[in-house]
Amino acid sequence: MSEELVEIEGWKGSGELTLSERKDTYILREKRKNKETKEIYTDETEILKSTVRELWNLIRKNCVLGEEYKYRYLVRKVIESGKMDLAKVLPEFTEIDSFIRDKADGEILNKWLDFVTHLSIETFNGGKFRKEIYFPFYYSLKILEGKGKIAYIGKGSVIPLQDDELE
């Protein structure tokens, strides 16, 4: 598969992100700086292509080319789409969430979505499930940036630059 080098602004200088592909995954190699020792090292992360594709399709569906969208907007759209698997972090939630999304309407559904969104945004923002929820989202944005699909502004904000399919 192909490998490309993408320059991305990093820690008070420029870091670099190397993006390569396997059949079902993207491999990100990113230069990082240890906060304590100041040593620079390479971190490697593997993200499923299906995860990146789902986020890209969600952005294409909910965002206008050239306009900036904030982190909370994107997270809410991910949660509302049902693509974020709450079962990974809250297994007991799965059954009631499915029931309410299937059976409830109007005000009850909106209150439920507000509750789940608040809970999920807190999960995105930190805590013990950050690895399962936030990082796949963040690294998917970085991959989309590397492929020229979005401009990543930082703090989760993006500007869609293209509207074509993800290869």
Confidence (pLDDT) at 141: 92
Q: Is the pTM of this model over 0.85?
A: no
Report the C-alpha gap between 5 and 16 in whole angstroms.
7
Tell me the pLDDT tens digit for each residue of 124-158: 776 666 777 778 888 899 999 989 999 998 787 99
Residue 85 has pLDDT above 70, yes or no: no
d(CA 32, CA 48): 22
CA distance 18 to 31: 9
Q: What is the residue extent of each domain of the chain? A: 49-167
Tell me: the pLDDT tens digits for 87-132?
554 555 566 666 666 777 777 777 766 666 666 666 677 666 677 7
**First-to-last C-alpha distance (Å) of the chain:** 12
pLDDT of residue 160: 95
More confident residue, 50 or 101: 50
- pLDDT reported for residue 143: 92
Buried b (16+ CB within 10 A) or exposed e, 59-75: bbebbeeeeebebeebb
pLDDT score, position 13 = 42
